[in-house]
Structure 1
Amino acid sequence: MATVKIVLRKNYQKKDGTFPIALRITKDRKSKFLFTGEYILEKDWDQTKGLAKKSHPNSSRLNNMLLKKITEAHDMALEIESSEKKQSVATITKKIVGEDKYDFFKVSEVFLANLLKRKKFNQQYNQEKRLEIFKTYLGRKELSFTDLDVTLLKRFEAYLLYERKVAPRTAINYLMLIRTIYNFARKEYHVDDRNYPFGKGKIQIKFPESEKIGLNKEEVQLLETADNLTKAQLHAVYVWLTSFYFAGVRVADVIKLKWSDFKDNRLYYRMGKNRKLVSLVVPDKTKEILKYFEAQKRGKDDLVFPFLKGTNLKDDKRVATRVKTVTRNLNRRLQIVGEKLGIEKKLSMHIARHSFGNISGDKIPIQMLQKLYRHSSITTTVNYQSNFMHKETDDALEKVVNF
């Protein structure tokens, strides 16, 4: 016998602190959840009754709607079980939902709330902006999954490429987001697979080859010996060089380095992207940079670089926002330095990683590069480093044309 109950889904919390209200359908100790599209603060929810408290400004209206939903779902579950045999909770849930009851943007709200819960603040911010652009293109705030078809997606892709003039890789990011939310809806909401617009013969996501160009040895040496820089520009160069000297450590990790991360002439830190523990020897060139900032050191737990000082490091969201601003400012200053030094390539924090790959080329065994890059798979390292390994193809070209 299937049971239906109204519950608050605490797994997903919106930015305003509210949680989604859902119908929980349980059979044979397995549960599925159907979201009602309503959200409420935890303090306004009566967990025992499964209804809104009187403290909620619209408790009567909300409770009437919830009671109606649970009655309809319970009646339908009884009807399904009495007419057919061996119905699983997934089948019952799917039949209760019916065709096309869920809205893409309603599901996306839960998806974004889940990113916030996992403290993926930058990702949540970027994905929310992309969804706003998708809404603007549609000219409406509702979209059924039935309407989300191949034709619509191809038109949206064309709009991104030819009207907004985004890069092909950026357009792919939009399609990936839509696919991710659709897959989330298939799992959590049991959206019918028959309308799924991705896959063979439909929308296939293929990543265009991206151009990865790093500085060469001479250009890095220009940065190392640069003079007549402002203090802000010098600090930007020092952060860039620190990233480069540690095989392209990501900027968010560099500016969060503490003096306590350095022990016995080694750097020990946990990567922000995948939480891996990393240990690297401190090159002599890095020691000179550390010596420059050591005068500002207040204690072993103090930050090496000054950019996040005064920021509550326990406030993950605030730190993520601050890191984004700092990175943008560093990139602006690096561009000015690049122009001063006559470096024609685009100079940014991320280019430090590409520069390490460019200079290492095919001089270092791929297994060692995998360790230096902190890649989980050697395939990732091979694909990444292939952008910078040119000797064999260059030699082959020279043999043919030099006659």
Structure 2
Amino acid sequence: MATLNLILDKRRARKDGTYPLVFRIRIGKKFSDIRTEFKLRPQEFDSKTSSIVNDLYSNELLLDLKKHYIQRLRSYMISNVGREDVKEARKYLVNKLPDEVTMHEFWLEQIEELRTAGRQGGARVYQTALSVLSQETNLNRPFSQFSYKDLIQLEKKLYQRGLSNNGISVYMRSFRAICNKAINFDLVDYSWYPFRKYKFKKDKTTPRVLTQEELRRFFRLNLSSDHPFYQSWLLGKLIFMLRGINITDLLLLSSDNLQNGRIIYKRAKTGKVYSIKMTDEVKCTFEKFEANKTLVGLITEKDLKDRQKLVNILIQRRKVINTHLKKIGKLIEANEAITTYVFRYSYANIAKQLGYSKDLIGEALGHNVGSKITGIYLEQFDLEVVDEMNQRIIKSIS
């Protein structure tokens, strides 16, 4: 008889008090382990339910992996009756011929690779796309058995679910990326590629922006430090004054990002490096927070150490902040619902109204500029030019 269970391997204690989380295969009295990338403390793992405590996303991923391994283990046992070997079983579970690898399991492997590399946001995007698409088409088959006709049928089913062109595009782009990786891993030949003929459709959207007058009302709002929206209000101001900084990047800023009177950081989403002058207004706003390992103190040292849970924590923080900002929007009678991203669009809109060029605005926001010649020109922009524009934009709504 063979079994497969998810356990903490307490034979291998780490210096930080964690143990590796493994899938243990047992055949008779012998066992072998398949490692995962999780390292947990005993109180973080529920042995009764074989699940990580308070981590729905990771548990879903592990459950999918367990189902895959169990299916492979059954196949191995049927094919090797009377000559079962636990080490050979492990090899069978983790290794496959190209025609045996299903789209679903390869997709899961790519999610795990992203998570291991610390790219939790990308892993979540892939996981969401996999969850949605697997409901509408059979991904438990090799790539070679999925055709262009299947792709069009999948798109049709997504439309029937009521998804927009833009929503479908998000999921299909993730699917395309997985297909490209499969080709690069020689799981299928490029001649198979179903996306060669596929056309992505996109609806034009009008960015939500606040007017100068609405931003003035936002900045001049008088909230006391004990008001429930106070910190979210300050964060909104910082997002605007820091040229539309992403809320995740803002929450993770630390003293290490302060250099010679500037805030220098790498955007988590794109990897682009930003250098923004620390103006008096920005400095004053930061001083109203109780800093810890981060400048605004809303992410704890414990949060930073657990990269697996940090993404969920950041998502929750963003939801709370956006809820507060929307309520502040009602207080100032804004026509648009305020979210963290509205400040980025509003910054660009006001810069345009003040007469600044698209190139300079794009440089301030970190956009890639179309032509190589323009790009080279922009690389030579003196920081003072962007700083001057930023200061003028801030003063226009103060």
TM-score (structure 2 length as normaliser)? 0.66
| Conserved? CA contact 1:311–1:319, under 8 Å | no
Match of 2:190 among 171, 193, 200: 193
- Consecutive unaligned residues of structure 1, counting only runs of 5 or more, are 1-14, 20-37, 44-55, 74-95, 383-403
Separation (CA, whole Å) in 2 of partners of 1:265 and 1:177: 40
Q: What is the aligned partner in structure 2 of residue 79 from structure 1?
A: none
Match of 1:271 in 2: 267
Where does residue 136 of structure 1 map in the other structure?
Answer: 135
- Give me the whole-angstrom Cα distance separating, in 2, the residues matched to 1:360 and 1:314: 38
Q: Describe the shift of the 1:17–1:212 C-alpha distance in structure 2 as closer, same or farther (beyond 3 A).
A: farther
CA shift for structure 1 position 67? 8.3
How far did residue 240 of structure 1 move?
1.3
Q: Which residue of 2 aligns with 1:203?
A: 198
Q: Which residue of 2 aligns with 1:40?
A: 34
1:269, distance to aligned residue in structure 2 (A): 2.5
Q: Percent identity?
A: 16
Query: Where does residue 317 of structure 1 map in the other structure?
Result: 308
**Deviation per CA, 1:256-293, whole angstroms, max 9, x where unpaired?**
22245334432232322233433211233323312322
Matches within 5 A, 1:172-321: 172-199=169-196, 202-227=197-222, 231-293=227-289, 296-297=290-291, 302-321=293-312
Letter matched to residue 277 of structure 1: V
Q: Secondary structure at the match of 1:278?
A: strand
CA contact (8 A) 1:266 1:280 kept: yes
Tell me the CA shift for residue 63 of structure 1. 4.2
Structure 1 Cα separation of the partners of residues 21 and 254 of structure 2: 33
Change (3 A) 1:60 1:113: same
CA separation of 1:42 and 1:228: change in aligned 2, threshold 3 A? closer
The question of 1:331 aligning with 2:327 is answered: no
- What is the rounded CA distance, in whole Å, between the counterparts of 2:233 and 2:266 in structure 1? 23
Q: Aligned AA for 1:360?
A: A
What is the root-mean-square deviation in Å for CA atoms of aligned residues?
A: 3.5
Number of aligned pairs? 302
Summarize the Cα distance change of 1:346–1:320 in structure 2 as closer, same or farther, 3 Å threshold.
same
The aligned residue for residue 362 of structure 2 is 370
CA contact (8 A) 1:115 1:123 kept: yes
Larger Rg: 1
1:23 paired residue number: none
Q: 1:145 aligns with which of 143, 146, 155?
A: 143
Kept after mapping to 2: 8 A contact 1:214/1:357: no
TM-score, scaled to structure 1: 0.65
Conserved in 2, the CA contact under 8 Å of 1:367 and 1:378?
no
Once residues 313 and 178 of structure 1 are traced to their aligned partners in structure 2, the CA distance between those partners, rounded to angstroms, is 31
Q: Structure 1 residues 287, 342: closer, same or farther in 2, change over 3 A?
A: same
Q: Residue 280 of structure 1: SS of its match in structure 2?
A: strand
Q: Larger deviation: 223-232 or 314-323?
A: 223-232
User: 1:272 is aligned with what amino acid?
Assistant: A
Deviation of the 1:141 alpha carbon: 5.8
Check whether the contact 1:214–1:354 (CA below 8 A) recurs between aligned residues. Answer: yes
Q: How far did 1:133 drift?
A: 1.8
The AA in structure 1 aligned to 2:298 is F
